Chain A
Amino acid sequence: MANEAVVDDTGRSIAVVEGLQGVVTDWSSDQQAFKRVPWGKAMMWIFLLSDTFIFACFLVGYMMVRSSTTSAWPNPSEVFALTLFGKSIPLILIAIMTFILISSSGTMAMAVKFGYEKNRKITTILLVVTAMFGASFVGMQAFEWSKLIEEGVRPWGNPMGATQFGSCFFMITGFHGFHVSIGVIFLLIVARKVWKGDLENMKPGFFTTRRGGYEVVEIMGLYWHFVDLVWVFIFAFFYLW
């Protein structure tokens, strides 16, 4: 299929391919804009940019329905209060979830560092710890969902006030929880790669068959920190506001 070669802006020659395959090679043909950045990292950043717009749409939609409704908005401080040791503590579960997610970001950042140092054992442990933090976060969210569903909160109404509260809550936290769940799965996949030494030997990946070194851990980290980042905004605007 390769007919001729052209020289790109870095002086390397690249094959010109026809047909559908040509579309793919043209769009990925080493016209490098982001110097010294592995291609996977640039692509992850662009994915995260698009994800930012998705979450922004949810949060802006939430802002719109909350400030346009004429009925009273339920007080999150009371809705998410939990009775511990016979005392009602406002928002305590959400606070614990926040600290768990921040801690998982801390262990993730260190996994990236030890990955580049090729310390496979520590990197694997840190990745698995990160995944465990993530899994416990999803568990607490499941607990919170079932508590609210039991209290009669539905996407179309709730006993505490404005009907839009339920739809915003399930949509926003649900989409975020889905991101965390996917992240946990990917963390475990990357942890397994590190443990087996796949990244050291640049073995082709499971999904993409692309070869990757330890930048894979950093790319995974970008996704994970982003999930933490989105939670910062949800915590501020949905739970604290």
Chain B
Amino acid sequence: MSESQEGAKVEQQQHPISTYFWVWGGLFVLSTLSYMVDYMQFQGLLRWSLIIIFMLLKAGFIIAIFMHMFYERLALACAILIPTSFLAVLIGLMWLEANNTNMTRDTYLDEGSGVMVTEHGSSH
């Protein structure tokens, strides 16, 4: 605790330096692992799930420890993290939309040319 300029009590983020070294090391290991996913040329579902797992772990460590979110009051964490979680809706909707666009293109467009295919052959 210390005095801020308004004289109100504010909390200081003081944590042992070893915590930061551990997280730093952890992030190095996780980055190496995600690089290995590409280096070993894992493909398909295995590749995508490994990429997402390592990404979320790294993001979690950075937000929780480096940005001190784990130590902050719940009110602040909620104010930041709950609105962010709504992005899942955007991602889901756009994913459906993109697949629909892709399907329409596959059905109605000539391969790669961007020319519409009609019953009487291709036309502009």
Contact = CB atoms under 8 A, between A and B. Distances in A.
Interface of A: 30, 32-38, 42, 45-46, 48-49, 52-53, 56, 60, 63-71, 77, 90-91, 95, 98-99, 102-103, 105-106, 108-110, 112-113, 116-117, 202, 211-215, 218, 221-222, 225-226, 228-229, 232-233, 235-237, 239-241
A116 B38 CA distance: 40
A63 B95 contact: yes
Interface string B97-116: 11101100110010110000
Contacts of A113: 13-15, 17, 20
A105 B91 CA distance: 28
B42 to A, nearest CB: 10
B117 interface: no
16 contacts: A34-B75, A36-B9, A36-B73, A65-B98, A66-B98, A67-B95, A68-B101, A98-B31, A102-B27, A103-B24, A106-B20, A221-B67, A225-B67, A228-B62, A229-B62, A229-B63
B123 interface: no
Nearest to A89: B39
Contacts of A213: 2, 4-5
Q: Which of B13, B59, B67, B106 counts the most A-chain CB atoms under 10 A from its CB? A: B67
Contacts of A105: 24, 27, 62, 66
- Interface of B, secondary structure class, is helix
A71 B111 CA distance: 8
Contacts of B54: 236
Given A49-B83, A95-B35, A112 B13 contact: yes
A64 B106 CA distance: 15
B102 to A, nearest CB: 5
Interface in B51-102: 51-52, 54-55, 58-59, 62-63, 65-68, 72-73, 75-76, 79-80, 83-84, 87, 90-91, 94-95, 97-99, 101-102
B105 A68 contact: yes
B17 A110 contact: yes
Nearest to B39: A90
Contact of B5 (A102, A202, A221): A202
Contact of B38 (A38, A52, A91, A109): A91
B51 A240 contact: yes
B11 interface: yes
Interface in B17-39: 17, 20-21, 23-24, 27-28, 31, 34-35, 37-39
A106 B19 CA distance: 11
A70 B84 contact: no
Contacts of B80: 45-46, 48-49
B91 to A, nearest CB: 6
Contacts of A65: 98
Contacts of A236: 34, 51-52, 54-55
Contacts of B122: none
Nearest to B100: A68
